[in-house]
Chain A
Amino acid sequence: DIVMTQSPDSLAVSLGERATINCKSSQSVLASSNSKNQLAWYQQKPGQPPKMIIYWASTRESGVPDRFSGSGSGTDFTLTISSLQAEDVALYHCQQFFSLPYTFGQGTKLEIK
């Protein structure tokens, strides 16, 4: 199984400041078939299911604000929120869809400082 490890486990950032969450996979998730990283990011607010915000490591889902961006390739990935808003407080997860079983990171809790 591909192990996904996020850092940090929790993060407190001031409103308007940048938030950065990292995700590392135990093996490359770059698919040779389409040259795309099989990596997604999800945002989960309390009492709600996860919501996909980024896929292929850097493609924003429709309707997601452009302050959210994803980067990285191979085994190392980053989710960046360029200017934190109050509504961004949530638990963030990365997920690999390179191979079964699909696996998730342990989650990063993002709070306001």
Chain B
Amino acid sequence: QVQLHQSGPGLVKPSQTLSLTCAISGDSVSNNSVAWNWIRQSPSRGLEWLGRTYYRSKWYNDYAVFVKSRITVNPDTSKNQFSLQLNSVTPEDTAVYYCARALIGRFEFWGLGTLVTVSS
């Protein structure tokens, strides 16, 4: 069974970088049939897809336009994990962040979530 284990700080200061990692067990980040995603959830905006990385003979990324200038999602094949970096955060980036595996766009497996608060 696929499991996703999230790690990273729960508190980030404004203007700094939010960094989270999602370790994969039961699958490979290089699986060429799926994609590895970051999604966040807040009471005001609901669930928002942020971006993904996936392998199809080479690595690809896609990002939501509203974070495209600030986001990086990277695979780490040596540790079988992937990461999220979101730069220049503001309090509006406060949310629960989830990693998730997608098969043809539907999110079959999710991490447990990390509440990230942006505050000084």
Q: How many B residues touch A, CB cutoff 8 Å?
A: 19
Residue of B nearest to A59 (CB): B106
- Taking a contact as CB atoms under 8 Å apart, the answer to whether B105 and A38 are in contact is yes
Rounded to whole angstroms, the CA-CA distance of A38 and B102 in the bound complex is 13
Chain B positions within 8 Å of A65 at CB level: none
- Taking a contact as CB atoms under 8 Å apart, the answer to whether A95 and B62 are in contact is no
Secondary structure class of chain B's binding surface, majority of residues: strand
Given A49-B112, A93-B47, A106-B46, A101-B107 contact (CB < 8 Å): no
Q: How large is the interface on A (under 10, 10 to 19, 20 to 34, 35 or more residues)?
A: 20 to 34
The verdict on A103 contacting chain B, using a C-beta distance below 8 Å, is yes
Given A49-B112, A93-B47, A100-B62 contact (CB < 8 Å): yes
Given A101-B64, A101-B65, A50-B104 contact (CB < 8 Å): no
The verdict on A70 contacting chain B, using a C-beta distance below 8 Å, is no
Chain B positions within 8 Å of A98 at CB level: 105
- Taking a contact as CB atoms under 8 Å apart, the answer to whether B110 and A55 are in contact is no
Given A100-B62, A101-B64, A50-B106 contact (CB < 8 Å): no
Rounded to whole angstroms, the CA-CA distance of A93 and B107 in the bound complex is 12
Q: A50-B107, A102-B102 are in contact. List 17 more A-B contacts (CB 8 A).
A: A48-B112, A49-B110, A49-B112, A50-B98, A52-B106, A52-B108, A55-B106, A61-B108, A95-B107, A101-B64, A101-B65, A102-B105, A104-B46, A104-B47, A104-B49, A105-B46, A106-B46
- Give the top 3 A-B pairs by smallest Cβ distance, nearest first: A97-B105, A49-B110, A104-B47
